[in-house]
A and B are shown apart, each in its own frame.
Chain A
Amino acid sequence: MSYVSLENSEGFLKCFEVIAEDKSCIVSDSVLYFSGKTGKGFITVAGIHTGIEVLAVNLSQLTDDLTIRFQPSSDAASYILHFDEIEVPNKGDNDVPVNTVGTPAEKGHSVVSIADAARGKTIVYPRERMIRSLVVRVRKASLDHLIKDFDAGTIGAILDSPDSPASLTWPITFKYRLLLNDFMAEIVQHPFRELFTIRNVSMLMEYLLQQLFVMQKLSDDGNSLSTQDTRSLSRVEQHLCLHYKTEFPGIEKLSRISAMSPTSLKTKFKRYYGETLFGYYQKNKLEHARKLLDNKVPVKVVATEIGYSNPSHFTLAFKKEYGFSPWHYLNPH
């Protein structure tokens, strides 16, 4: 176990030295590469000079848990937003739900959370997992305006009240997953790093606010979900996201995964994620297809890649979702 504390901006960079020594890593140009002995992947920081600090963690095969601790600091009027996706590698089509490791401290859970920096925060990255995580520190002043417009300060009130949990958490959705994927793939190489970072943070904020909005509405209607339900739904969601290349698993399998009845699964999923089970699966699938098309992969290859046996079926589905065919997507002019 290793601890790193991040108290202020300088801490972000200083913590690198600590980790580097502890885990025998190479630091170059504010990117920390794990050499393979203690894990694979990288940790990097961005946006230090722009006031919105981002710590990006993209690691796998850690030999030991990595703990990052944000010291509580009274003067820093900021929020810590934390988005992470944690997968068990090589699970494949196994029926066992992926994040059963959810013991205390939400270890091994894929979550979005928001916490007040004044209370500090400890993040534990478990070993032998695939981890993609973004920790964003943003000034309260920046976010409050947006949040207040939204739910008249309820979130702020929850975070500020002394007997509340230290942070609010939700399970992540496929939008976050895609964003995290993209972010990790490009951040090290990107020619405009700060711009890229601020864009992604801004998008995360939008997703977060959308989610807050949904949660607020649910609790207003007296439909808020229990922790148990939230976990079950997130298992289903994760299953749908990971298996986008294969056929839709079918309601029976999903209800087994979630340990809910098919009917209540359907209703709750729709209420929480705003999409039907199949709609959600399909959206995620086509979003992957769109990404491939952006990379100039031909339509035929994309169709097979995301699991269509017939390209015309893919074309139809694509057209239904986006309003134009893949070919028109590639040739807009």
Chain B
Amino acid sequence: MTMKFQDPDQDIAVKALQWQVLSLPVGLKAAILKGPADRMELTLPNFREEGTTISFINYKGDVRIGTGHRPGDKEQPASPGLGLMTVAGRPMSFRTGAAVPFAALVLFIPRAWAQLFMGANTPFRKIEQQLEEETNIITCRLGRRQLSLLSATLGVTGEPALSLLSLQNNALALLEYFLCNRHRSLLGVNPIADIENEDDLSLIREVESYISEFYCSDTFTVDSILKKTYTSYHRLNFLFKSIHGMTISEYIRNKRIEKSKEMIADNVKSISQIAYEIGYSSISNYILAFKKVYQITPGKYKKQIDSLA
């Protein structure tokens, strides 16, 4: 497929409600809207084609997203700086009770385009599946970079050819961010956690993998994690607690003790050997830790296992 270009006169053609619809050179369509709105009831523009839409919105105040046909149907509160992905044609509207400054960019991706540019990527197929089966809206919070891209997109002026291109670039960057963000959160699946921020989740994944790699080393400390990930102890602990329900040191201890339990069951090494091998510098510390986790000393545990065998 080649880049499609329309006659420049046709670029700013369709005006659905207050949406300004533009055709981008790569073959996407964008609808932009900006300005204060009082008591609005805004539906997405109709692109009359099969595909998906991603809406990026930003506002100050109180906005609700409706996913039903009638007002009042299935409403959920929105939050400023949000990306929403849905199948084109599904009902979605933004409602406000009072006057708020509101800005939105809706990106329409024709099905053929999506197939061409993203169809070969497994992550996209997963996202597509999710879109069709589980939920009908996928959301993602925008970072500062994306917010500034969004406001730049809505405020472009200047050379007609250049502004269209820069609008396209911003839109593509937003699209890429959205998909990558989704992809990352799909990799680290944790539905229980009520941590919204995808970056936090990926941080935790990183720490977890770091821990599982080094927890047996006797030079391993929580400090070394902090240094590696550039986070503060309190922040990391907070995140860990909200995901695993325990502090980071408890998490490491449990991991070590679990490992030692397996080693005891293997019945190859003595308990003191095991203690040193999993990174404890004194045996009494190890025995205390073991007792805390399993309410039994490692020696007794070993005897239990032996008697069973």
Q: Tell whether, in the assembled complex, residue B118 and residue A194 are in contact, meaning their CB atoms are under 8 Å apart.
A: yes
Q: Tell whether, in the assembled complex, residue A202 and residue B230 are in contact, meaning their CB atoms are under 8 Å apart.
A: no
| A333 cross-chain contacts in B, Cβ below 8 A | 79-81, 141
Q: Is A320 an interface residue (CB 8 A)?
A: no
Q: Tell whether, in the assembled complex, residue B2 and residue A206 are in contact, meaning their CB atoms are under 8 Å apart.
A: no
| B144 cross-chain contacts in A, Cβ below 8 A | 324, 328-332
Choose among B121, B145, B147 the residue that contacts A192 (Cβ–Cβ < 8 A). B121
Chain A contact surface mostly: helix
Q: How many residues of A contact B (CB 8 A)?
A: 41
The closest CB in chain A to the CB of B121 belongs to: A192
| B169 cross-chain contacts in A, Cβ below 8 A | 199, 202-203, 206
| A203 cross-chain contacts in B, Cβ below 8 A | 169
Q: Tell whether, in the assembled complex, residue B3 and residue A192 are in contact, meaning their CB atoms are under 8 Å apart.
A: no
Q: Is B293 an interface residue (CB 8 A)?
A: no
| B203 cross-chain contacts in A, Cβ below 8 A | 296
Tell me the chain A residues, 307-333 only, with Cβ under 8 Å from chain B: 322, 324, 328-333
Q: Is B176 an interface residue (CB 8 A)?
A: yes
Q: Is B17 an interface residue (CB 8 A)?
A: no
Binary CB contact string for chain B from 112 to 146 against chain A (1 if under 8 A, 0 otherwise): 00001110110110000000000000000111110
Chain B contact surface mostly: helix
| A195 cross-chain contacts in B, Cβ below 8 A | 117-118, 172, 175-176, 179
State A149–B164 Cα separation when bound (angstroms).
12
| A210 cross-chain contacts in B, Cβ below 8 A | 162
How many inter-chain residue pairs (CB < 8 Å) link A and B?
111
| B116 cross-chain contacts in A, Cβ below 8 A | 49-50, 194
Q: How many residues of B contact A (CB 8 A)?
A: 42
The closest CB in chain B to the CB of A297 belongs to: B230
Query: With A141-B5, A192-B118, A330-B144 known to touch, is A198 a contact of B26 (CB < 8 Å)?
Result: yes
| B8 cross-chain contacts in A, Cβ below 8 A | 145, 149
Binary CB contact string for chain B from 154 to 172 against chain A (1 if under 8 A, 0 otherwise): 0000011110011011001
Q: Is B50 an interface residue (CB 8 A)?
A: no
Query: With A139-B2, A195-B179, A202-B168 known to touch, is A298 a contact of B118 (CB < 8 Å)?
Result: no
Q: Is B199 an interface residue (CB 8 A)?
A: yes
| A145 cross-chain contacts in B, Cβ below 8 A | 5, 8, 25
State A301–B199 Cα separation when bound (angstroms).
19
Query: With A191-B180, A330-B144, A332-B144 known to touch, is A206 a contact of B166 (CB < 8 Å)?
Result: yes
Give 4 closest A-B pairs by Cβ, nearest first: A142-B3, A332-B144, A199-B172, A149-B161
Besides A141-B2, A294-B143, A332-B143, 7 other A-B contacts (C-beta < 8 A): A51-B1, A149-B161, A194-B118, A198-B172, A199-B172, A202-B25, A333-B80
Q: Which residues of A are interface residues toward B (Cβ below 8 A)? A: 49-52, 138-139, 141-142, 145-146, 149-150, 191-196, 198-199, 202-203, 205-206, 209-210, 213, 290, 294, 296-298, 301, 322, 324, 328-333
